[in-house]
Amino acid sequence: MLCWGNASFGQLGLGGIDEEIVLEPRKSDFFINKKVRDVGCGLRHTVFVLDDGTVYTCGCNDLGQLGHEKSRKKPEQVVALDAQNIVAVSCGEAHTLALNDKGQVYAWGLDSDGQLGLLGSEECIRVPRNIKSLSDIQIVQVACGYYHSLALSKASEVFCWGQNKYGQLGLGIDCKKQASPQLIKSLLGIPFMQVAAGGAHSFVLTLSGAIFGWGRNKFGQLGLNDENDRYVPNLLKSLRTQKIVYICCGEDHTAALTKEGGVFTFGAGGYGQLGHNSTSHEINPRKVFELMGSIVTQIACGRQHTSAFVPSSGRIYSFGLGGNGQLGTGSTSNRKSPFTVKGNWFPYNGQCPPDFDSEEYFCVKRIFSGGDQSFSHYSNPQNCGPPDDFRYPDPSKQIWTVNEALIQKWLSYPSGRFPVEIANEIDGTFSSSGCLNGSFLAVSNDDHYRTGTRFSGVDMNAARLLFHKLIQSDHPQISQQVAASLEKNLIPKLTSSLPDVEALRFYLTLPECPLMSDSNNFTTIAIPFGTALVNLEKAPLKVLENWWSVLEPPLFLKIVELFKEVVVHLLKLYKIGIPPSERRIFNSFLHTALKVLEILHRVNEKTGQIIQYDKFYIHEVQELIDIRNDYINWVQQQAYGMDVNHGLTELADIPVTICTYPFVFDAQAKTTLLQTDAVLQMQMAIDQAHRQNVSSLFLPVIESVNPCLILVVRRENIVGDAMEVLRKTKNIDYKKPLKVIFVGEDAVDAGGVRKEFFLLIMRELLDPKYGMFRYYEDSRLIWFSDKTFEDSDLFHLIGVICGLAIYNFTIVDLHFPLALYKKLLKKKPSLDDLKELMPDVGRSMQQLLDYPEDDVEETFCLNFTAGVC
């Protein structure tokens, strides 16, 4: 171990040396033949963790921060932790946290603001104590500010305690200091990779490089483009796309490491600790220019200085305050830009010359900084291993995520013989939305770092494969545990407001889990999941819709099919019979499933149909409900103003009408609906006519009317006669039943005459002699002619005739392409529609679009114009 900096309180652990300042790296005899796992630096004390899990401390002990009463000048073991295998430590100004391999946290030192989390009344705790309120939570990381503490759990939960003078706990402006760990609820659901703390500011880093900061911001150390303190977590937007993988904090400044090995700094720069060759403060993250030619893999912050390690040269660079020798440059001068720490540095994998004295060279393993001291764990060049790389986090310090290795671990145990810790691991993973949101990331080309409102950062194929491997295995105990965790722990905790887009991912991935498609789980998992989805606020729901819109068709169809199956399942239960006491909850369930389908259908329509519209059809509807009765109920709901756009709670009191969601009806069901609507409309028109006729008997000013729409036409002038009558007919009379009379014929129209009329008139109207339509031989379809001289009113009347035919239950043979119906629905036709009408032209246009080169004119040797009105 090499150490340098302030030694006035013995915090370098060099024993009884005369110097109070060590200006350049010096070997510590104590650590010869010892491997160091972690180092924590307080303002005037230091804590060392060895590979065997033992803890040694040295430095100032005025407030019990050493955890023992032995020598302060050299490292002494903290005997109270002798039974623990400590894996990580962190130090505040005068307090210490230690984390063992079981995820338990021990604390000692100053407790003036509750920073130990022990709920004690003592000012100082001189012997390590377990934080009992965290004993049932598996912690993987701890971080200390001067007077506050942070912890990250395996379930991606962030806890905080201690002083909150500047908002460093992230619990809000009204929150005072906390003497026990408090969950930061505003961060729930986000998959975190790291927690970090400065003097009075805090940060968390997500798996996809998003940074949230809060606390003191006097010098811009939160990087939020101002100097206002923050009392709740705020996203540092400017670094979102920079692939940040590690953060460290000084007293009032912050440094961030990117996946490419770049370094950003911001905050207080009065001593040059930002490395920008100035002493200015920076309220926005700024890249350290002089390190841009090197790949940095480790960074560390002291109180007012910063260190960086470049493995290609094996050198450590430092900048900032140097008054206590903490820069290791051989002087007490401050450095405003990166300066090489003195030492015979040797790069990993470097070539040793024949006369090389390895004892005089240092191969860096890891650097540590804090307070006004710095350390470097090193080995000799001849037996050195690769140095730590902060760009690739230690898996043991990360949250649970579903991945190939973890599933293999679970499946390696015989069925029915899971150890308790494995069951707890499965439960913890599937009880945490944060863990699921950190699973199945698109790691190829680091794509998940592009996560945003348009890209989820999820590898959906990986999600499908891993879920299938896990649930379809010969381990029913796994499926049972996963189902129980989703039902009892995960879904009930979901909220409508989410802190970040990364907290939305499991809404994409969970439908891929086979458990969701199991009818036994519809009411316990799928429907509650759908309820949470429907209840999302507008902003997160919009992001989810954006993500759905770019899914591959099979993946999008999977979600649609899931909720179609849920609807069918519920309708079958309804047909069997639902007890009155359960009607309300049944209504809520059915509304939920249909609302999810409605959202998916809206996305499908907005994006030009990811899947064909008929994939939303639920063919079983015709068998499971009385469509005519459903339609009548729907009409009544509309008449009484029952709004189906209410929330799900209010909808539970409104009987479900499938007609509210017409996109689920296939052609047969829609025909039934159309006929039902026509019968109702006709009956209403007839009733209105009868009422008017009755009134005319008593009030002569009211004229009697025919309850039917009568068309009297001559066969030889069928078009002219029909048009003449229809021009004079009021719109309201179109809703009456149609009766057709051919002049000179005695036949009574019981339906047959009407059908003959429509057959004859449509044949006439479509005849080329009128020039209104053009016939296309290739497709055998017709379209409007651009050379017609007919009045546009005639086209309108043709539409009226078509409408009357459908309204009066008569099928007419119209050879129009799909484009006509798109136009009626105000939807934009596509090239596929042109292909349907004009196959040759459509294919030629497609070839032009598909041609990859720039020499279009030379290759195709023609130019042409194709017109379609």
Question: Looking at residues 352-376, what average pLDDT do you find?
Answer: 85
Segment 767-781, tens digit of pLDDT: 767 778 888 888 889
DSSP character at residue 53: S
Q: What is the pLDDT of residue 735?
A: 87
| Beta pairing class for 738-742 and 709-713 | parallel
- What is the band of 850 on the pLDDT scale with cuts at 50, 70, 90? confident
- For tokens 């004119």, the residue is 857
Residues, the chain:
869
Chain-centroid distance, C-alpha 62: 48
Rounded Cα distance between 457 and 776, Å, is 48
* Per-residue pLDDT at 858 exceeds 90: no
* Per-residue pLDDT at 713 exceeds 70: yes
- For tokens 């670094």, the residue is 239
* Per-residue pLDDT at 661 exceeds 80: yes
- What is the band of 539 on the pLDDT scale with cuts at 50, 70, 90? very high
* Per-residue pLDDT at 31 exceeds 60: yes
- What is the band of 427 on the pLDDT scale with cuts at 50, 70, 90? very high
* Per-residue pLDDT at 347 exceeds 70: yes
* Per-residue pLDDT at 855 exceeds 80: no
In the chain, what are the helix, strand and coil shares in percent, each to the nearest 5?
40, 20, 40
Q: What is the pLDDT of residue 644?
A: 58
Which has the minimum average pLDDT: 96-100, 216-220, 596-600, 746-750? Answer: 746-750
Q: What is the pLDDT of residue 764?
A: 82
For the chain, the domains span: 2-383, 401-663, 673-827, 828-869
Q: What is the pLDDT of residue 642?
A: 63
Question: Looking at residues 424-443, what average pLDDT do you find?
Answer: 97
Kindly list the distances between the CA atom of residue 451 and the CA atoms of 212, 244, 445, 490, in Å, as whole numbers in the listed order.
Answer: 15, 13, 13, 23
- What is the band of 704 on the pLDDT scale with cuts at 50, 70, 90? confident
Share of the chain above pLDDT 70, in %: 95
Of 476, 483, 467, residue with least CA distance to 518 = 483
Of residues 113 and 648, the one with the higher pLDDT is 113
Task: Provide the Cα torsion 259, 260, 262, 263; round to 10°.
Answer: 0
Segment 588-638, tens digit of pLDDT: 999 999 999 999 999 999 998 899 999 999 999 999 999 999 999 898 888
Question: Looking at residues 675-681, what average pLDDT do you find?
Answer: 87
Give me the chain's average pLDDT, please.
91
DSSP character at residue 245: E
How many Cβ atoms from other residues are within 10 Å of residue 85's Cβ? 12
DSSP states of 601-663: HHHHHHTT-SS-GGGG--TTHHHHS-HHHHHHHHHHHHHTT--TTS-HHHHTTS---GGGSGG
Pick the CATH number of 673-827 from 3.40.640.10, 3.40.50.720, 3.40.50.300, 3.90.1750.10: 3.90.1750.10
Q: What is the pLDDT of residue 799?
A: 86
Second-level CATH architecture of 2-383: 7 Propeller (2.130)
Cβ 197 vs Cβ 397: under 8 Å:
no
- What is the band of 685 on the pLDDT scale with cuts at 50, 70, 90? confident
Rounded Cα distance between 290 and 277, Å, is 9
- For tokens 């060279």, the residue is 361
Kindly list the distances between the CA atom of residue 642 and the CA atoms of 69, 326, 567, 636, 662, in Å, as whole numbers in the listed order.
Answer: 75, 72, 22, 9, 17
Question: Looking at residues 239-258, what average pLDDT do you find?
Answer: 98
Rounded Cα distance between 4 and 376, Å, is 9
Q: What is the pLDDT of residue 709?
A: 87
> Which three-class secondary structure state does DSSP give residue 115?
coil
Q: What is the pLDDT of residue 660?
A: 93
Q: What is the pLDDT of residue 108?
A: 98
Segment 267-305, tens digit of pLDDT: 999 999 999 999 999 999 999 999 999 999 999 999 999
